[in-house]
Structure 1
Amino acid sequence: MGRLFTAYRVLAIIVGVLLAFCSLVALPLKYLATDGSSLQTFGENASIMWVAHGWVFIIYVVVTFLLAREARWSIPFTVLALVAGLIPLVIFWVERSVVRRMREEHPELSAERA
């Protein structure tokens, strides 16, 4: 379970950063910056990161589902963890909740630093 837990943490951070960047930087620049400006061009070019977020999110969902089954999470908590990668910045709060819960329920994970 330690490897799944570590993979979950890494993927949660990557998904969170990608989603925050795409939602809070690329999207506004693409649609709100002055037409033809360098900022708009940057926003358009940076929008490719949505594809990266999508692929990493798929891996995140698989790893989170496997971790949830192994750790025997409740259905609502599992759904929260799975959906967190779709709402900007929420995934960081959920990741902390998962870490706290996992370390309480599985003290052997407390020694691991990831």
Structure 2
Amino acid sequence: MFSFLNIFRITALLEGVSYILLLFIATPVKYLLNDPQYVKLLGMPHGLLFIGYVVLAFMLKNELKWNQKQFITVLLASIIPFGTFYIEKKYLKPLRDAEL
């Protein structure tokens, strides 16, 4: 079933993967090989996923009963490489396991 939580989990995964690809593949190719096409290719999807992640986090804040510290952690994780994977493990996976 598609709930906002499931959509948030998918968005967090895709945002994390796109960020890693952008930082560790596209950016080095741009500056080391002077080829900006990968940054252009990955930049817009990553930006949209980032915005979706933040909007969904605001939408889910009250439903998931995140306190201020947890909410700030969820938001900061979107700008730290591998951060969204930490959020999945720490905050979202226990919720999924509780549903099963």
TM-score for the superposition, normalised by structure 1: 0.77
Alpha-carbon distance between aligned partners in 1 of 2:59 and 2:28, rounded to the nearest angstrom: 35
Structure that is richer in helix per residue: 1
Task: Tell me what 2:13 maps to.
Answer: 13
Match of 2:25 in 1: 25
Structure 1: 4+ residue segments shifted above 4 A: none
**How many aligned positions are there?**
98
Q: Percent identity?
A: 28
* Kept after mapping to 2: 8 A contact 1:65/1:82: no
Gaps of 5+ in 2: none
Specify every segment of 5 or more residues in structure 1 that has no aligned partner in the other structure, as ranges: 34-39
RMSD of equivalent CA atoms = 1.7
Larger radius of gyration: 1
Distance 2:96 2:71 in 1: 16
Q: Return 89-98 or 12-21, whichever deviates more.
A: 89-98
| C-alpha distance in 1 between matches for 2:95 and 2:68 | 16
For residue 57 of structure 2, the aligned residue among 58, 64, 70 is: 64
Secondary structure of 2:81's counterpart equals coil
TM-score normalized with structure 2 length: 0.86
